[in-house]
Chains A and B, each alone.
Chain A
Amino acid sequence: MFKKLVSLCLAVLMVAGLCAGFAGCAKANADFKIGVILLHDESSTYDKNFITAVEDAQKALGLSNSQVIIKKGIPEGNECYETAKDLVAEGCKVIFADSFGHEDFMIKAAKEFPEVQFCHATGTKAHTEKLSNYHNAFASIYEGRYLAGIAAGLKLKAMMEADSTIVPKIGYVGAFTYAEVISGYTSFYLGVKEIVPTVTMEVQFTGSWYDEAEEKNAANALINMGCVLISQHADSMGAPSACEDKGIPNVSYNGSTVSSCPNTFIVSSRIDWAPYVKYICEQTMAGKAIDTDWTGTISTGSVKLTDLGSKAPVEGTQAIIDQYKAELVAGTRHVFDTNNFTVNGEKLTSYLADVDDDGTYTGDTEVVKDGYFHESEYRSAPYFDMEIDGIHRINSKF
C-alpha cells in the first residue's frame, strides 16, 4: 500500500519536474532586471506605497514580472546584504531598497559589485560615501505636508468662525524625534499657521513607526487635551480611526483614509516613488549616471496630495491649495521661510544642520540662506530638526 503510494507520488513529481524544465526553456532572456528590497509586505502602508510605485513604473516601462524582482520582508541586517547579492546573481542591473536601516548593508553590497547600481530610499550617506554606484533618494514631502496644512487651516478657520469658543490648538502624532518626522510636522504646522496665525500644536511621539494601539492612544490623549484637529506621521490607522470615533477632523499620510473615515478625512499627502523607480531604470538601461542624491518634488510628480474628503474639508479648498502649489513650484514661496517662524522668540539667521551622517550627530552644513531654510537640498533626506515656537512636544523621549 505505502509502496504503491510512494511510487505514485514519485511519478507525479517526475512528470511535474519535466514540465518545469520545459517551462523554463520557454522564458525569454531579458537583459534588464531591477531588484527591489522591502522591509515588510503590503500589510504595511509604508511598503505598500513602494509596491504600488514599483508596479506603476513596471507598467510604464513595459517590463515583465521576471524583470522586476520584488523581495518582501527583508530585515535591516545581514539578510539585506545577502538579498542584494542574490539579486545581483539573478542578473539585476539596479537594486532598490526602501527602509532607512537597509543603508549600511546596501553600501556593503555596492562596494562589492561596482558594476551594479544601488539605490536607497530615505538614506543619508550617499553624498559622503562617494561611491559612483550608490545613490540616495527622497522627496520634498514637506511641501506636500504644507499644502495639507493649508487645507487643515481652512477647516480650522471655518470651525472658529462657526464657534467662537474654539481655541486654535491642533495635535500631531509622530513616530520618533527624527528629522524626517520633525520636518514633516513643522511644515504641516506652518501650512495651518499660514491660514490661522494664532494656531499652536501639541506633538505626541509613539516611539514606533507602526503601533496601532499606541497611535490611537496618542490621538485620544491629544483630543482629550483639547486639540480640535489631528494629523500624524506613523503608518497605522490608529490616529485616523480615533479621530473618526470622536468626530475630530484628520489629515492623513501615505494615502487616503476616506473609505474608513468618511466624516473626518480632510486630505492626505504621500510620496509617489514611481517617478524615481522609472528614472533609475531608464538611466541604467541607457547606461547613464544616476544622481547621488535625488529629491522628488511636486514637479517630478513625487509629492502628491490625495483627493479631498467628501464631508470634512471646507468648500473652495482645492482652489486655494492649487494656488499655493503653483507658488511653491514657481519658487516664489518657501515652506521654511524664516519670516514665517521663530525659534526661541527670534528669527532664524543661521543654522548648522547635521547633513553629513558621520556618526558624530553634530551640525556641519549652513542651511539658512536667502531668507529660508534649504530643506532637502544638500542631501535628499530631510534634516530640519529644530523646535520652533508654537509647537510643543508633550514627550520627547523618542
Chain B
Amino acid sequence: MSVTATDQPLLDVRRVTKTFGNLVACDAIDLVIKRGEIHALLGENGAGKSTFVKMLFGSLQPVAGEIFWKGRKVNISSPAVARGLGIGMVFQHFSLFDSLTAAENIALSLDKKIPLQDIAVRARDLGEAYGLPLDPDALVGDLSVGERQRIEIIRCLLQEPDLIILDEPTSVLTPQEADRLFVTLERLRAEGKSILYISHRLDEVKRLCDRATVLRHGKVAGDCDPRKETPASLARMMVGNDIKIARRDVATGGKGEARPLLEIRGLSQPPRGPFSTALHDISLTVYAGEIVGIAGVSGNGQGEFFESVSGEMRQDRADTIRIGGVAAGRAGISRRRGLGAAFVPEERLGHGAVPELPLTDNLLLSRYATDGGAFLRGGPLKILARHRLQSAVGSIVKAMDVRKSGENPDASALSGGNLQKFIIGRELARKPAVLVVNQPTWGVDAGAAAYVRQALIDLARDGSAVLVISQDLDELMEICDRIAVMNQGALSKTLPSAEVTLEKIGLMMGGADKAA
C-alpha cells in the first residue's frame, strides 16, 4: 500500500446536517476517521450521536453535507449501500429479531446469497476466533443481552467491514464483559480496521480510543486526543459547563434505630411470558432515611422485580412484601400506594405516563387512588376536578422546573428529561414514605439527571426509604448508602457504598459472588 493511500482518511464527513421538523439533530458536523484507529464519538444523550451514525449507516438521510469514503464522494442511501462500501454497525438497542434464530438473524444482514447452513458454520468459526462463542440455532429471544451483542458483532464482522460502528456497546455489559470486548476491539484495530466508538463513558474512551470528537446539541464541540485530556476537560466539552454533582450528607444514624419501611422476604416468581425472567428468592429491607441501589445489566429481572414490588404483579403470599410494616404481597398497586409507597417505572411513555393524554390526566394516573378526595368530586359519580388537577400540575412544574410549551400539553410533547422530572415530581408531591424508582435518569440530559438525583437524596433525608434500580453504576455510587446487584433474577447481599468498587460490583454482576 502506498504512503498516500495510508494517509488518506478512510472516512471524511463534511458539514453533514439532519433535521426532524424544526429540530436540528445534527448541525454541519465534520468528522475524519483514519485507517486503523479507534475513534470516539462522545456526547450526552440527545447530543445527536445516534442520528449521526444512522446517516453513516444509511438508515437516515442527511439534508445537507458530503460524505467521502476512501477519497470518493458517496451517497449512502441505504444500509445495503453502507455494507457494500464496507461499513458495519453494531446497534445500541439491538436490531435483532426475537422469534428468529441467531443464524437467521445473521443471514438477514448479509447481502450475499449464502445458504443458512454455511452461515451457521462461519459464524461459529468467526466467533471462536474473536472470543465470541455462539450457538447459531438458538432463538434470539432466549438469549441474554451479552449473547445478543455477540450476534450483532459477529454479524457485523462477517461482512468484513473496514469501518465498524459501535453504538454505546458497554451500556449493556458487565465490566468484565466490557474488558473482553475491548480486547476484541484492539485485535481488530491491529488488523488495520477502523472503529467508530460511540459512548458517554469517559474512562472507556480515555483507555481505548486514539481520537475523540465531541458532540453537543448537534454540533461538534471539539476534537481531541482523549489520552491527553482529563475526564473533567472531556466532560466540560460534552456538557458545556461544569455540572453540579448531587451531594448527600454522609449516612445519617445507624440502621439500628431506623424503621424498616420496605421489606421484601423470599420473593420468587415464575417467568410471565416467553421472554421474561424468573425471580428467585429475593430478600431486601430498606430503612427510613436511606437510599438502596440495585445494580445490574438490564434484562436480569429488574423490570419483573419492579412490577412485583409495585403490585402490578401481585404475590401469592401477603408477607412477601411489607410496606410500612403492613403485609401487602397480595395487594394491588393502588393499595400499596395507599400504604405510602410511590413508584416510578423505567419506561416513561406508555408505562409511567400515557403519551396521548395531557399532563392533568397523567397526574391523575397515579394519584386518583390516594388523592381522590382532592381531584374527584360528585361523590360516587367521581367527576374529574379539572381546575384542581391543573393547579396541582402547575405546582409540580414549578417545584421540579419542568419546561413545557402550553398550559397542559400531552405527555408525548415533553422531552425525556422534563417528562421524567414531571413523573418524579408527581410522586414526590405525595411525600411518599417509600419510593421505588427504576432507571431514574435513563435517556435524561445531564442537567435533569442531576436534578432528579438531588430530589431522591432530599426525599431520603426527610426520612423516606428510597429504592433505586439503575444500570448506571456511577449514579448508584453517588447517591446510595447500600448497593446490591441483580443477576438472572436473583439479588446479591447489599454492600455499603463506601466498600463498593467497580471490580467487586462487576464480579457480582457476572454472578461470581454466588460461587464464593
B partners with A: no
